């Protein structure tokens, strides 16, 4: 029996009519055009779930008014995409469930999900966005979280991509994703590695005693770590991929180092080690810190996305 034909990868964006989701829509449309991929636009109604005494469950059907509002939101979104990116093929979906589940259900491992940093739900989030964090933690594919500047993304270009790395497998996967994105869009790739001296010390006294200065030691280790990661990533890919790579090594906290390197960039890529059990641990501390403070789109590679089964 012949196997099912794999569908082409697509960009999936969640919208709710807010300024935040409009910014996400514009960025998603630009990315779909760049990839020559269809754009699936998802609007979630979050209809209440009713559980019967026998254990069955069903959702309330939307009223004609709610259904009409959803149709209007999706129609406006498709019209806006046609105006901005006429070559992009759009698909509109109204989902009954909550926004995070709706967007994730519409996506597959080779897709890209795009969400805004605010909105997409009945209740506004008190921080970056509960929807953004939940989707970025549980999605089967990379998730782009797009900040809004009065309904517009800071940039829709992909000329400079920043990725933060350490010695973990998560960082290697994030570097691989960033490298692929840079190759696809012809972007410069900036690889950031930082360290913090773990305890106070007297550099003069230690040097006099014959010890290598801490800064020199960490600098050497950083250089070897980044070179090793890049060699692994390049080895796994075609030799004809040509990506301009620069490296930033600095004594700083990982979040601050990434955000400083991202000044003037178009996107940041981070991996996540989050386990998804408690809201504060849905994403790793670095990925969550970058999400909270970044002014440009952040592309998160969830812990389980692209991992071998």
Q: CATH number for the domain including 170?
A: 3.40.50.620
Task: Flag whether 177 is in a domain.
Answer: yes
How many structural domains is the chain composed of? 2
Domain end (from 93, 117, 146): 146
Same domain? 206 vs 82: no
Look at residues 104, 121, 146 and tell me which one is the last residue of a structural domain.
146
Same domain, 115 and 196: no
Condensed to tens digits (0 to 9), the pLDDT of residues 213-237 reads 566 777 888 899 999 999 999 988 8
* Enclosing domain of residue 20: 11-49+61-146
- Whether residue 232 is found in the same domain as residue 133: no
Evaluate whether residue 55 is within a structural domain: no
Asked whether residue 37 falls in the same domain as residue 119, the answer is yes
Give the per-residue SS3 of the chain.
CCCCCCCCCCEEEEECCCHHHHHHHHHHHHHHHHHCCCEEEEEECCCCEEECCCCCEEECCCCHHHHHHHHHHHHHHHHHHHHHCCCCCEEEEEECCCHHHHHHHCCCCCCEEEEECCCCCCCCCCCCCHHHHHHHHHCCCCEEEECCECCECCCCCCCEEEEECCCCHHHHHHHHHHHHHHHHHCCEEEEEEEECCCCCCCHHHHHHCCCCCHHHHHHHHHHHHHHHHHHHHHHCCCCCCCCEEEEEEEECCHHHHHHHHCCCCCEEEEECCCCCCCHHHCCCHHHHHHHHHCCCCEEEECCCCCCCC
The answer to whether residue 249 sits within a structural domain is: yes
Let me know whether 198 and 268 are in one domain. yes
User: Is 216 part of any domain?
Assistant: yes
Q: Is the pLDDT confidence value at 77 over 50?
A: yes
Q: Of 124, 146, 168, which residue is a domain's last?
A: 146
User: Does a structural domain hold residue 151?
Assistant: no
Does residue 56 lie within any of the structural domains? no
Same domain, 89 and 204: no
Note whether residue 155 is domain-resident.
no
> Which pTM value belongs to this model?
0.86
Q: Are residues 112 and 201 in the same domain?
A: no
pLDDT at 60: 80
- pLDDT, one tens digit per residue, over 81-135 is 999 999 999 999 999 999 999 999 999 999 999 999 864 443 333 334 578 888 9
Instruction: Assess whether 186 and 268 both reside in one domain.
Output: yes
């Amino acid at each position: 029996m012949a196997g099912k034909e794999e569908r082409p990868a697509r960009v999936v964006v969640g919208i709710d009519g807010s300024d935040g989701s409009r910014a996400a829509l514009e960025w998603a449309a630009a990315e779909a055009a760049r990839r020559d991929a269809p754009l699936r636009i998802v609007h979630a109604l979050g209809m209440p779930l009713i559980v019967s005494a026998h254990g069955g469950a069903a959702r309330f059907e939307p009223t004609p008014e709610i259904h009409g509002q959803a149709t209007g939101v999706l129609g406006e979104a498709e019209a806006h995409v046609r105006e901005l990116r006429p070559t992009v093929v759009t698909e509109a979906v109204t989902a009954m469930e909550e926004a995070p589940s709706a967007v994730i259900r519409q996506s597959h491992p080779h897709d890209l999900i795009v969400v805004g940093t605010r909105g997409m739900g009945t209740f506004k989030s008190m921080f970056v966005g509960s929807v953004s964090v939940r989707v970025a933690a549980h999605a089967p594919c990379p998730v782009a979280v797009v900040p809004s500047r009065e309904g517009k993304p800071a940039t829709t270009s992909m000329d400079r991509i920043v990725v933060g790395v350490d010695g973990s497998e998560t960082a290697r996967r994030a570097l691989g994703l960033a490298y692929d994105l840079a190759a696809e869009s012809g972007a410069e790739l900036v690889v950031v590695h930082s360290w913090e001296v773990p305890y106070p010390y007297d550099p003069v006294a230690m040097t006099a005693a014959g010890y290598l200065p801490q800064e020199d030691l960490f600098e050497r280790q950083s250089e070897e770590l980044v070179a090793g990661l890049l060699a692994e990533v390049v080895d796994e890919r075609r030799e004809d991929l040509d990506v301009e790579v620069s490296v930033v090594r600095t004594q700083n906290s990982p979040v601050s180092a990434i955000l400083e390197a991202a000044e003037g960039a178009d996107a940041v890529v981070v991996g996540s080690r989050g386990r998804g059990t408690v809201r504060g641990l849905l994403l790793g501390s670095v990925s969550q810190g970058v999400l909270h403070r970044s002014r440009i789109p952040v592309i998160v590679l969830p812990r389980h996305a692209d991992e071998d089964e």
